Every structure is written in C-alpha cells, then in structure tokens.
Amino acid sequence: MRFCLAYSTADNFLGRDVYGELERCWLQTDAALMLKNAAENLAKTRHGLRLLAYDCARPLAVQVQMWAVVKGTPQQGYVADPAVGSVHNLGCAVDLTLADAAGPLDMGTPFDFFGEAAEPRAERKLLLSGVLSPAQVANRLILREMMVRAGFYPLDHEWWHFDCAPGAAARQRYPQLREAPQG
C-alpha cells in the first residue's frame, strides 16, 4: 500500500497544494481497516500489485475551494457541492489505483479525469468503441473486485473512488471534518 496525496501537491485539477500540513491519508477506523483488508487481499491474490491512494479524508474547507473551480462548468457533476459534502469530508472515502514496480497501472484515464472515459457505468460502451482497451478495463475490474470484496462501495462515474458506506449511511454515521485531521 502506498500513499501519494494528490491535493498535497500541485499535480491536481486545482494546480496547487490545497492540503497544507495535511500530508497523510486519514480515514475513519472502519474505512482504514477495510482498506488494509483490500491491500492484503491484493498482495495475496495478485502478486506484484499494490494499492496506491491519491486521496482520503478531505477537510470541508478544501471542498469549498474545489466547488468554486467547477461550479457552473460541465465538470461540476464530478465534485460534491460542499452544502451536501463529499464522503471524503467524512473520512469514509478513498481515491486509489493499482500500481506495480514500474508505477501506476493504465486505467484508461488519469485519476480525477472529469469525463465519460472515467465512468464505470460507460465502460461497456467505451470498450466497444475502442476508447478503453480490454487491458485498461481489466485493470479497473481488479481494483473494483478488491475494494468491493473488502466492503467498499464503488461510484458509477469515477473508477478511482470508493466509499466505506453508502452516502446516506455515511452521513448519519460520521461527522464532517471541518479542519484537517490531526495525528
């Protein structure tokens, strides 16, 4: 398991480090244990592959900055309105991919690609039209299988995003993180 928080670097759709001193993947205990299970299952069943996480808990203040960039654009469907909040704001979601010794596997799009090619619900069509290759879809299926087996819920419009509980249940169970988590 590796971590490389994209919003703690300038390599993200905002083009700057919006996480400041938040440098670590922080998750609610349930979510962290599920992620550990997924990583262990992957190591056991897919030799040479590991999980690489790009985002975990996200303070609400960062959600506000993200929303300001996409609001009113075609991309706004890919970012949660802070009035509702993202499951990341509860510490119950993780964005991740698969990697081998050479680096991240080819999933057909980068993490945080805002467009149909990133959408699991469109994969059959994208495969038939040649937008995605069989190898790219197979990589996504391995990631989804490992995460779903560990109890995570996939999204239908972002291949990299998984929730530790369905959105409504997560909102009942966990408070929003207004500040960056400590420790």
- What residue type is assigned to position 50 of the chain? R
Size of interface with Zn ion, in residues (CB under 5 A): 2
Q: Site map for Zn ion, 156-175, x if CB under 5 A?
A: -----x--------------
* Tokens of residue 84, six digits: 């509702």
Number of Cβ within 10 Å of residue 83's Cβ equals 8
Q: Which range of residues in 27-35, 94-102, 122-130, 145-153 is near Zn ion by CB under 5 A?
A: 94-102
- ∠148-88-41 over CA atoms, to 5°? 30
Nearest residue to Zn ion, using CB? 161
CA distance 176 to 140: 29
Are the C-beta atoms of residues 39 and 1 closer than 8 Å to each other?
yes
CA distance 99 to 16: 24
Residue 95, interface with Zn ion (CB under 5 A)?
yes
Is the CB of 39 or the CB of 53 nearer to Zn ion?
53
CA distance 109 to 22: 26
Question: Minimum distance from CB of 50 to Zn ion (Å)?
Answer: 19
Question: Minimum distance from CB of 93 to Zn ion (Å)?
Answer: 5
Q: Site map for Zn ion, 46-85, x if CB under 5 A?
A: ----------------------------------------
Is the CB of 95 or the CB of 123 nearer to Zn ion?
95
What is the binding site for Zn ion (CB under 5 A)? Answer: 95, 161
